[in-house]
């Protein structure tokens, strides 16, 4: 497991800001390198204890956890996983005055750059960690973001969930998302979205409030395990590897070396084959050329 204590590269300035603000988390660019390891942990104030993200890659979410969706229907989390499409999961709360909106807005801007559409190639699920929030608020929040997304027929692909504290806590523990209620009723939490496989396993963490569209596309493709995207998309993913220090996907040098080696073999094989063919053609021509005898006078 990889520990990301709310993007420690923000340093002491972020902690000072957290003491004055109702919410706390990373607002840095997604390309910044996440820091890991308990040796880097500062002495956090008690109000921020436990506010971090502990990566739990490949762990299955508690799919039997019950929530209320934005229509007021009680559902189990597994109903949102169809075994075919990956899921983008965001955790926060719908009355959050700052950070949750930045995360959702950043996600929307990135999704707008993709030619894949929510509800078709993947699902979007936003879960409130505040047990006081109800489905009416979730419905209003969903309507605003679906309108901003601006693509027709996507409502069924977006799910805004509320539920009891036990449900949000179970899901948060499943993805390693730490949060803490504050005395003023707000919540301290980190900034990230989670990419989940079609069968409900944690595939990738994308940190911050801005998400590079190419990274998001590759994360969805990776999570889908080849179920979405074209052959070209899968080839591009094959050429890349996720680098946690870079906070995104980078070209995999070994893959480039393999491609270069294959190209060299093809060129050499083609050249040798062409020379053999020319030699064979010349020999055949010599064997079939008639010999004209010269007669003396």
Average pLDDT estimate for 11-36: 38
Same domain, 156 and 281: no
Q: Which residues contact 162 (CB under 8 A, 6 or more apart)?
A: 67, 68, 94, 127, 128, 130, 131, 133, 134, 135, 137, 138
Same domain, 131 and 212: yes
Domain of 244: which CATH number?
A: 3.40.30.10
Same domain, 118 and 144: yes
Range of the domain at 272: 252-287
Same domain, 30 and 145: yes
Same domain, 219 and 278: no
Same domain, 106 and 207: yes
Same domain, 258 and 125: no
What are the tens digits of pLDDT across the range 171-185?
999 999 999 999 999
**Token digits for 96?**
């959050």
Instruction: Please report which helix (H) or strand (E) contains residue 242, including its range.
Output: strand 240-243
**Token digits for 71?**
């229509």
Same domain, 142 and 66: yes
**Which pTM does this prediction carry?**
0.70
Does residue 295 lie within any of the structural domains? Answer: no
What are the tens digits of pLDDT across the range 237-257?
557 566 777 667 676 554 445
What are the tens digits of pLDDT across the range 59-112?
999 999 999 999 999 999 999 999 999 999 999 999 999 999 999 999 999 999
| Count of structural domains within the chain | 2
Residue 33 near residue 152, CB atoms below 8 Å: no
Same domain, 182 and 265: no
Same domain, 278 and 151: no
């Amino acid at each position: 497991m990889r520990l990301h204590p709310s993007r420690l590269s923000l340093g002491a300035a972020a902690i000072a800001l957290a003491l004055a603000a109702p919410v706390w988390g990373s607002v840095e660019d997604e390309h910044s390198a996440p820091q890991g390891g308990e040796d880097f942990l500062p002495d956090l104030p008690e109000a921020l204890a436990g506010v971090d993200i502990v990566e739990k890659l490949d762990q299955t979410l508690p799919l039997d956890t019950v929530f209320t969706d934005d229509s007021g229907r009680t559902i189990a989390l597994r109903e949102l996983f169809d075994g075919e499409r990956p899921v983008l999961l965001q955790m926060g709360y719908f009355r959050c005055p700052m950070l949750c909106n930045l995360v959702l807005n950043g996600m929307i801007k990135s999704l707008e750059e993709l030619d894949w559409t929510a509800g078709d190639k993947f699902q979007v699920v936003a879960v409130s960690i505040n047990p006081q929030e109800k489905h009416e608020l979730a419905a209003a929040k969903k309507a605003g973001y679906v309108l901003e997304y601006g693509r027709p027929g996507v409502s069924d692909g977006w799910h805004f969930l509320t539920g009891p504290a036990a449900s949000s806590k179970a899901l948060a523990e499943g993805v390693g998302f730490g949060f803490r209620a504050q005395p003023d009723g707000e919540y301290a939490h980190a900034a990230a979205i989670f990419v989940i496989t079609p069968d409900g396993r944690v595939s990738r963490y994308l940190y911050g409030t801005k998400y590079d569209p190419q990274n998001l596309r590759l994360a969805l493709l990776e999570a889908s395990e080849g179920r979405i995207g074209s052959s070209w998309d899968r080839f591009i993913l094959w050429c890349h590897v996720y680098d946690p220090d870079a906070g995104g996907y980078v070209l995999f040098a070994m893959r480039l070396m393999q491609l270069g080696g294959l190209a060299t073999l093809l060129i050499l094989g083609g050249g040798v084959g062409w020379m053999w063919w020319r030699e064979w053609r010349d020999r055949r021509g010599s064997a079939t050329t008639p010999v004209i005898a010269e007669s003396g006078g």
